[in-house]
């Protein structure tokens, strides 16, 4: 298949198109006792305790796509969807067609389906996690970097319970993955409620969330040359040590340099926007 994964990466989208890596749906409909279609490794078990929103978990892998699903059902609270379904782009890309196919295969009597959360994903070659960390400008105030036992880093922007969050990590040695985790409140504010509304993501402006910039090297050199030797060393040391978004704030406070003089849009920002407009779903 043209959209089949190789080592967890879909060559068809690298540097070209955004895609939905994980999609979570609220479904007002009953779980089928027996699903339609072949499912591999299926299991059904109780989950959670008294505070859990749902009582049971049904999960497995659809043979037709090679993609996992997780269906929780038996809501313990009023006003919740009867079932919640999570789909992942494991072996093939999640699309509108296979999304509808899966929830109809698992549920019956479906009256309503809403998008609860999704991950809008960009696979980028030739860029490292550290490089993206350096160039990201954002309205978020919370940042966190985690490292696994192999030294691979994952960089988080925003709160895990916020309306949106950004995650940057090394997918392979050559591919860095940039993911926008968009939650229900964020999506509803932008009129993305139904599965068919996901197409609107192609045209949303994420500049308020994340904008990618690079140093204005000419301006930096000019400003540095105008400083005394001692202040020049401090200026250059801060530039080396800090992410660009922190450096411009510090440079304004300590040296009186306007932020706009130190940075300029990076070409990667335009590339990400082009990939967004060409999103596959």
- Do 189 and 99 fall into the same domain? yes
- Do 234 and 167 fall into the same domain? no
Residue 176: burial class (beta carbons within 10 Å; 0-12, 13-18, 19+) = buried
- Do 116 and 255 fall into the same domain? no
CA distance 155 to 152: 10
In a domain, 247, yes or no: yes
Tokens 């990466």 correspond to what residue? 9
- Do 170 and 257 fall into the same domain? no
- C-alpha radius of gyration, the chain, whole number: 22
Contact between 119 and 9 under an 8 Å Cβ cutoff? The reply is: no
* Backbone phi and psi for residue 119, each to the nearest 5 degrees, phi listed first: -115, 110
CA distance 22 to 29: 21
Residue 253, C-beta contacts closer than 8 angstroms, at least 6 positions apart: none
The boundaries of the domain holding residue 88 are 19-211+271-277
In a domain, 12, yes or no: no
Domains of the chain: total: 2
Cα-to-chain-centroid distance, residue 209? 12
- Do 58 and 166 fall into the same domain? yes
User: Which among 250, 249, 258, 253 has a CA at the least distance from the CA of 223?
Assistant: 258
CA distance 168 to 199: 23
Q: Is 115 helix (H, G, I), strand (E, B) or coil?
A: strand
**Which pLDDT tens digits describe the chain residue by residue (281 residues)?**
556 778 789 999 999 999 999 999 999 999 998 999 999 999 999 987 777 889 999 999 999 999 999 999 988 777 889 999 999 999 999 999 999 999 999 999 999 999 999 999 999 999 999 999 999 999 898 999 998 888 888 999 999 989 999 999 999 989 999 999 999 999 999 999 999 999 999 999 988 889 999 999 999 999 999 999 999 999 999 999 999 999 999 999 999 888 778 999 999 999 999 999 999 99
Residue 31: burial class (beta carbons within 10 Å; 0-12, 13-18, 19+) = buried
């Amino acid at each position: 298949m043209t959209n089949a994964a190789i080592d967890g990466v879909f060559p068809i989208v690298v540097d070209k198109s955004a895609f939905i890596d994980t999609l979570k749906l609220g479904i007002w409909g009953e779980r089928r006792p027996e699903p339609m279609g072949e499912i591999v490794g299926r299991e059904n078990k109780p989950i959670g305790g008294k505070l859990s929103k749902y009582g049971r978990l049904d999960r497995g892998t659809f043979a037709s796509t090679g993609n996992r699903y997780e269906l929780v059902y038996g809501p313990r609270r009023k006003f919740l969807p009867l079932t919640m379904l999570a789909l992942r782009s494991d072996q093939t890309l999640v699309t509108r067609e296979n999304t509808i196919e899966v929830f109809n295969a698992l549920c019956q009597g479906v009256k309503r389906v809403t998008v609860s959360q999704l991950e809008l994903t960009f696979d980028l070659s030739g860029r490292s996690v550290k490089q993206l960390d350096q160039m990201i400008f954002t309205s978020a105030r919370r940042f966190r970097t985690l490292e696994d036992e192999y030294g691979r880093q994952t960089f988080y922007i925003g709160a895990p319970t916020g309306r949106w969050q950004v995650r940057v990590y090394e997918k392979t040695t050559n591919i860095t993955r940039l993911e926008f985790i968009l939650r229900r409140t964020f999506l509803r504010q932008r009129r993305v409620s139904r599965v068919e509304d996901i197409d609107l993501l192609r045209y949303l402006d994420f500049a308020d969330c994340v904008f990618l910039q690079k140093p204005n090297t000419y301006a930096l050199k000019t400003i540095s040359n105008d400083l005394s030797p001692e202040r020049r060393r401090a200026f250059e040391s801060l530039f080396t040590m800090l992410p660009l978004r922190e450096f411009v704030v510090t440079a304004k406070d300590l040296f009186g340099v306007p932020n706009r003089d130190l940075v300029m849009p990076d070409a990667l920002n335009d590339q990400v926007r082009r990939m967004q407009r060409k999103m596959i779903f």
